[in-house]
Amino acid sequence: MTTYNNDNRYSQTYAVIDVETLNLNQLYESYKRLDPEPAELRWPFKSVCATALLVFTVDGDGLFEFVDLHAAAGDDEGALVRDLFDRLRMLPDAKVVTWGGLNADMPVLRVAAMRHHLRLPPQLVNDARRFRERCHLDLVAEYKAGARNFVHLSELATALRLPVKFADRASHVPKLLAEGKLDRLMDIALADVVSTALILQAHLEIHSELTSAAAAQIITLREVVRRRPQTRYADYLSRVERRLAAEAMADAEAFIASAA
């Protein structure tokens, strides 16, 4: 693993993360026998079985650079979570970004840390801040309408015509793990970090923090395909990349024509 040191104090590193989980049904049944009014199966009874991390930077001029993509899967929760934590520690200046992480990923990761006696990386400590800014950005919270009106990742990605849910479904996790199809299992988490990163890039552009979301999205898709060329979705992502590039070119030509 490589440690990335950010020498430009005006640049920002983003670490987009996602985890997939497996229900701990036996533990949940033990809990149900103890509680006369048991809650439904929730995050205390979920075990991490896949993780994904996508890293990019935006410099002080709003220019994008793709840094890294990593995913892992298996039945050793402690090893998976330790690996993710170690990677985040090597990105000390990074802002962690999730889709719904406040209510899903963060509680699951904290329980896993307690289960395996792991120290949280600084970004995942509750309400962690750096220079008064939160170290964790949950995009769900950014795009809710009202106190409880949250939208799904697939809703916003579809509205923006970005790829989403292009790997297996989350409901397939137990079967994929049981059959040892770990590449397909890790791709579920990887697909979510890719979609989240693409939406994050659009979010940064409208807040004047990124010069071009389209350029960042094109580069991101290109890098994902380069790193995962044998996947079932590689051709699909390449087609999306070409569409985005064609649209960006058309927009540029229209701008030049209007200025002539």
**pTM for this model (two decimals):** 0.92
pLDDT at 93: 92
Contacts of 85 (CB under 8 A, 6+ apart): 113, 118, 119, 120, 121, 124
SS3 label, residue 95: strand
Tens-binned pLDDT, residue by residue, of the chain (260 aa)? 544 444 445 799 999 999 999 999 999 999 999 999 999 999 999 999 999 999 999 999 999 999 999 999 999 999 999 999 999 999 999 999 999 999 999 999 999 999 999 999 999 998 888 888 889 999 999 998 766 778 999 999 999 999 999 999 999 999 999 999 999 999 999 999 999 999 999 999 999 999 999 999 999 999 999 999 999 999 999 999 999 999 998 877 777 877 76
Give the bridge partners for 65, in sequence order.
57
Q: Mind listing the domains of the chain with CATH numbers?
A: 12-211 (3.30.420.10)
